[in-house]
Amino acid sequence: MKVSVVGQGYVGLPLAIAAANAGHVVVGIDTNPDLVAYLDSGRSPIRDVADTFISSVLGSFYSVSTGYESIGSSDVVVICVPTPLDSSHEPDLSALTSALGSVASQLVAGTLVIIESTVAPGTTRGLVADILNRAGVGYELAYSPERIDPANKTWNVTNTPKLVAGITDSARDRALAFYSSFVSSVSFGSSVEVIETAKLLENSFRLVNISFINEVAGFCSKLGIDVREVIDAAATKPYGFMPFYPGAGVGGHCIPVDPSYLAAAARTVGAPMRFIDLANDVNLSMPSYFVGVASGMLGSLVGRKILVVGIAYKPDVADVRETPAAGLISLLRKAGALVSWHDELVGTWNGELTSPLSAGYDLAILVNPHTGTDLGLLGDTQLLNTRGGY
């Protein structure tokens, strides 16, 4: 098939390369000219996609563009643009609506459009269809939410089960055929609303449980026991329990974002999700909690040298989207601390450079240190481990 994938980030690029490897002729579209030039040189901005994966299909089954011209000759168009939260913590669909407008301007009859971006239930049938209808041609529309977990060495695009639903049975069947050509397991739902909600449920489940374990971690700290040992002990039960681990909050493109889409939709229909609201409150309070712990360890934070280790939203990625380290560093500085940070994968963030690990600090706060981060270089510096453990 001829395929256009709109968005060449953490979701769109792995999808485009997987489809190209399956023999589809894929054009990756991204409005960032620097990213397009980088990809066009055969280099990957994502650790999960090796340079060799791109170079092996570049110029044959895969090409990249800043324009939408390929839409007019595509059998399938997949939209993988970000749907984050705005400054009020409400859903921000501006990137999606912009991409849809560009797609509609080039859309031709018979094209299958698939939305992979996370949206609230009713968005595909409503907002998405309304914008695409401007094309005035007979297209088909399906929804198949992304399931990308950066740095996961076990699950990837091809072996992670895929969910699909279509506005029509024909759209569903065409989407099933497309994904089945390179994904090992594809299931479908009875409506796009079911699958839109399923996506939000997946990550709301994680948010609520992470929030709960963060509160358990605070309890264990008061008792002077290791919450990680408690979790590992509970995880010996082979049924009815799933381990979640504490931290300075949640980050990334899914867990801190998707539940708010579900909560917003729930408020619209008059069925508020109190667990999600509470879970958000707990997680957003974690940076403040750890500033309090740091104060308890050092006394006044004014003028104290503090190193935050690992500012990516999770270990072994360079992604800082929604990182809880941002709130932690901001609050520490407001308290008068002299804060530096170390992250060998991120390197540069907010106009600042990573600082070396050394023994010259009053306190080191571990947020998301990467595999291989040599904490021994901190010497006898006091450690505050936000992830639990001693």
Between CA 212 and CA 244 the distance in angstroms is: 9
Sign of CA dihedral 156, 368, 199, 213: positive
How many whole angstroms from its chain centre is CA 92? Answer: 15
User: And the tokens for 65?
Assistant: 């563009």
Q: Can you tell me the distance from the alpha carbon of 348 to that of 355, in angstroms, rounded to the nearest whole number?
A: 10
Is residue 302 within 8 A of residue 336, CB to CB? The reply is yes
Give every CB contact of residue 103 below 8 A, 6+ residues apart in sequence: 6, 68, 71, 77, 79, 113, 132
Tokens of 15: 């999808």
Set 5, 13, 254, 318: catalytic member:
254
Report the C-alpha gap between 372 and 7 in whole angstroms: 31
227-234 vs 192-223: helix axis angle to the nearest 10? 130
Q: Backbone phi, then psi, for 165, in 5-degree steps?
A: -150, 155
Asked if 254 is an active-site residue, the reply is yes
Spatial CA neighbour of 319 closest among 310, 327, 328? 310
**Which of the residues are catalytic?**
254
